[in-house]
Amino acid sequence: MGERVLGLGLKLLGIALFIGPFIAAFAAHNWDIQAAVIPSQAEMDEVNERVSGLVVEEGFSEDPFTLGTPKFSNNTVSVTVEFTSPLKIPIKITDLSASISGQGWQGAQVQMEEAEVDVPANGTANFTLVGPYSGTPPTNPEPTDVNITFELYGVTLQVQMGAG
């Protein structure tokens, strides 16, 4: 008899521990099932705020970049770059490459001189692109085909910005 009662009691305890959380969670939110299951509005607003910090409304165009006039010396072309981050979080630029082209010139490939550059949220960073060239430098050289690779929260984003 005692064993049967104990067995029944333990079974009921197991059932209570399974059903209890449903009742407690729904009761805590005035029986609003959705509110009990999904995260609170405040948490979702905070997440939205952070995600919106990653989104650039006008697109990730070349506007954040100010490229200086290419300088040619000793068969090396160098271009200074000022990058103004449109993102609300700090990022790390790990690679930036571009082509320098000019009329009647075969062109040159330039790459970031620095290994990586840290850019604070909505901040500005300056760095230099360098690369070898041959031939006579053009009179009006222009950077084109800018490719940038940056890292945010350990996730790598590679953006090809096409002809400049």
Partner 1 sequence: MKKISMWMRLPPMNWFGLVAGALMLLLPFLGPWWSATVGTGAIDLAMSPFDYRISLLEQPITSTLIEYFLLAAKLSVMIGGALMIAGSVGPKRWWGRRLVRFGAMRVFWMIIGLIGFLLVGALVMNIILPGLMSGMLEGGSMQINVPYVEGATTSTIQVDAVTITAPITASLTEIFWVAVLVAALGVAARIYHRRFMKPVKHVKPK
How many whole angstroms separate alpha carbon 60 and alpha carbon 16? 54
User: What is the nearest approach in angstroms of partner 1 to the Cβ of residue 73?
Assistant: 33
Distances (CA, A) of 1 to 6, 8, 15, 67, 119: 9, 11, 21, 88, 74
Within 78-97, the residues that bind partner 1 by CB under 8 A are 89
* Site membership for partner 1, residue 22 (CB under 8 A): yes
* Site membership for partner 1, residue 15 (CB under 8 A): no
Out of 30, 51, 58, 103, which residue is the one contacting partner 1 (CB under 8 A)? 51
How many whole angstroms separate alpha carbon 76 and alpha carbon 110? 9
Q: Quickly list DSSP for 38-68.
A: SPPHHHHHHHHHHHHTT--TT-S-STTEEE-
* Site membership for partner 1, residue 18 (CB under 8 A): yes
Pair 147, 158: CB distance under 8 Å: yes
Nearer to partner 1, 38 or 126 (CB): 38
If residue 21 lies in a helix (H) or strand (E), which one and from where to where?
helix 2-28
* Site membership for partner 1, residue 30 (CB under 8 A): no
* Site membership for partner 1, residue 55 (CB under 8 A): no
Return residues touching partner 1 (CB under 8 A): 2-3, 6-7, 10, 13-14, 17-18, 20-22, 24-26, 28-29, 35-40, 43, 46-47, 50-51, 54, 60, 89, 152-162
